[in-house]
Amino acid sequence: MLLDKRKNEISNYIAEVIGNLAANLIVTDDQIWPEFKKVVTSVATTQGEFGLCCALTVLWNFYSTELRNFKEIIPQLHDLLRLGFENPELPVAYAASRCLAAYSLVMDHSQHK
């Protein structure tokens, strides 16, 4: 099912805000990280292509600002990226591409420290 363009724009904006907000909160309180990780993985795996697209967008924004916790979710991230790239819907593949780009930048940055 093709995602409605307006719904996609609104959900993308909300997911971006959630990712940025989570990164800012986790910087000040590491206790949030385990629950955040569970919720994002749950949304991605139980809410169909819409949930997967939103979860990948949240992670893209989260990892654009928060580098410390990236390695802790690598196994789940690989699974979510695989699901994203296997999905035939363009918005989902686009979200997976952005998330992969953030992943690549963070891994490159962590290797040069």
3-state helix vs strand vs coil in the chain, percent to 5: 85, 0, 15
Type of residue numbered 8: N
State pTM to two decimals: 0.77
Q: What's the CA gap between 63 and 32, in Å, rounded? A: 15
Nearest to 62 by CA among 92, 94, 93, 32: 32
SS (H, E, C) 26-46: HHHCCCHHHHHHHHHHHHHHH
pLDDT along the chain (113 residues), means of 10: 69 84 80 85 88 88 69 78 91 90 74 53
pLDDT value for 83: 92
pLDDT value for 1: 47
pLDDT value for 108: 65
